[in-house]
Chain A
């Protein structure tokens, strides 16, 4: 072993490797690939299997024996007719359609404010990121307290209104829906802000200067340079939040338990209830699979879009 080998391994590799070394690399990573495949694929196959049966842990037989309770596609046809499932799904999409744009616009606004330096910027920046670090269950509990009829929200409203206000936030279906959405926006706007700020800082300074010297106003620069340059990161931020938001559970469950009635029952809360309270796991597996497929389609579209952007 001499220095040449060490030199040789450093920066010369500009061109393609030879075909031999590529094949060797494939063989070397083969065991790891098998392992990854197993970890990722096995639970899904298990889900598919169970979703085609009536199996429940109460039946007293192991999941691998579930074929004794084979029901073909009964779970899936039940699902199609399950109003509660469809309304939970619709509600989840509605939460997403309200929360994600609000978080995006708030995050973008904050990013614009924070992209240039001002006194106290670092401090405010840290403060702004706090909600993101709070455990969602704790955040749920906080907002549960805030929205009590004798809680701080009503106190503040009373102060401005001049008379005692006793709105039953979490008992009214519409108001409860509003309250859980507020809690989600409070918690996740900082993440959007963080990602968008990172993207905005990455816009080349010289291009902005060049645009300014060519006579472009702030708004023009923002529209023609900043936004197009942030396109990829915006798509990433939105994709993350859409996928995350679909899975929203903790704070909703703690604030309202999905209620009153099913007024705030999202798909996760619905699955949780069916799993833990009704224990029909074959059915749950079917629900979970349908959601997985739906989410995969959304992410695949987003990733395709992203890679197209990046390749440009």
Chain B
């Protein structure tokens, strides 16, 4: 088991900068998700950890071992590819045994370990089957088993669930997390799906355009996003972000949100850090708003989306799209005008120019 240290890591391809100044410490036995849209540099980071590509600058250490120049075959990392890279010209057994065989593990030992792994992943009845033509769900388990059988200290997974169907994905999410909790391997998981990152990881590293934006526990990153990108990227739907201007009215700080009206007074802590007359982005989570008869944001309901247990109200006018998540019995219809109340403790403010969160002053 090993910790991973990334120091000032960077990678350029010609004139294109794929990754810049990445600093990340992954503790021994930790499950970290690299989360971001395509092209954010998450796969590049992963490929550098595995040794598939060499960094242009910076350093990668496993524990206190510098990985510069160490070929990928000797880094001892397990890697699960997005397309699984199953050896389709071999049987399931041969796939599982491949690494043991290549590294010269004795036959008896090999058989025992393959059978154990097959048992564990429910692949035993399929051992003699050719790997070609198996379903995606099985290939996925096989890919994990093939790497896990080598008992790598570090496990890297590149969007392993993006090709499987929704129901199986939900099951695998739980299973993968449970597996990692039991084996305590250091796990790095690349995904563009915030749901996977939220549900599985001990910590999430959110990336965009080759930059690491925020690292923290899922709940922490979800509750206190460091900038507007992170705020909008996490959550389903993402955080509501409305442009406005901080104003002082009746001695309390509020945000002028244009058509929607004035916000409720900001909490004390935010009031102290938000200067008056500043362009800000006013953010709150869709599930943190309530319908009220009193004061609040007045918004027209454009669309009511009822999805089983929850109802999403799509609100706002002229380009504003504000979403609220309610339970399935909310008595609202398309065309209604509703008033939203948001608890001041759930409001997040961002600087409209930099996009960075405005911290609460204490």
Contact = CB atoms under 8 A, between A and B. Distances in A.
Does A touch B (CB under 8 Å) in the complex?
A: yes
Given A207-B85, A228-B89, A229-B89, A213 B98 contact: no
Interface in B111-155: 130, 132, 146-147, 150
Contacts of A207: 85-87
Contacts of B102: 211, 214-217, 220, 224
Which of under 10, 10 to 19, 20 to 34, or 35 or more describes the interface residues of B? 20 to 34
Contact of B85 (A209, A216, A217): A209
Contact of B103 (A206, A209, A215): A215
Contact of B98 (A209, A224, A231): A224
Nearest to A231: B89
Interface stretch (B10-18, B71-79, B258-266, B287-295): B71-79
B172 to A, nearest CB: 19
B215 to A, nearest CB: 26
Contacts of B179: none
Nearest to B146: A214
A71 interface: no
A216 B73 contact: yes
B267 to A, nearest CB: 50
Interface size class of A (residues with CB under 8 A): 10 to 19
Interface in B75-113: 75, 77-79, 81, 83, 85-87, 89-90, 98-99, 102-103
A312 B90 CA distance: 11
B52 A209 contact: yes
Nearest to B102: A216
A210 B90 CA distance: 14
A216 B72 contact: no
Contacts of A312: 89, 130, 132
B43 interface: no
Contacts of A239: none
Given A206-B85, A225-B87, A213 B79 contact: yes
Contacts of A210: 79, 81, 85, 87, 146
Contacts of A225: 87
Contacts of A216: 73, 98-99, 102
A242 B300 CA distance: 78
B45 interface: no
A72 interface: no
Nearest to A228: B89
Interface in B264-295: none
Given A211-B102, A214-B98, A216-B73, A206 B83 contact: yes
B73 A212 contact: yes
A217 B73 contact: yes
B287 to A, nearest CB: 40
Interface of A is mostly: helix
A204 interface: yes
B186 interface: no
B50 interface: yes
Contacts of B146: 210, 214
B294 to A, nearest CB: 54
Contacts of B99: 214-216
Nearest to B133: A312
A154 to B, nearest CB: 49
A210 B83 CA distance: 11
A56 to B, nearest CB: 55
Contacts of B150: 214-215
Interface in A187-215: 204, 206-207, 209-215
Contacts of B89: 228-229, 231, 312
Interface in A217-267: 217, 220, 224-225, 228-229, 231
Given A220-B102, A228-B89, A229-B89, A213 B50 contact: yes
A284 B98 CA distance: 56
B71 to A, nearest CB: 8
A229 B130 CA distance: 14
A220 B98 CA distance: 10
B93 to A, nearest CB: 14
Contacts of A217: 73, 102
Interface string A17-49: 000000000000000000000000000000000
Contacts of A228: 89-90
Contacts of B87: 207, 210-211, 224-225
A206 B81 contact: yes
Interface in A252-304: none
15 contacts: A209-B79, A212-B72, A213-B72, A214-B99, A214-B146, A215-B103, A215-B150, A216-B73, A216-B99, A216-B102, A224-B87, A224-B98, A224-B102, A228-B90, A312-B89
Interface of A: 204, 206-207, 209-217, 220, 224-225, 228-229, 231, 312
| Closest 7 pairs between A and B when the two form their complex, measured CB to CB | A214-B99, A216-B102, A206-B85, A210-B85, A215-B103, A228-B89, A213-B79
Given A215-B74, A224-B98, 11 more contacts: A207-B86, A210-B85, A210-B87, A213-B72, A213-B73, A214-B102, A215-B99, A215-B103, A224-B102, A231-B89, A312-B89
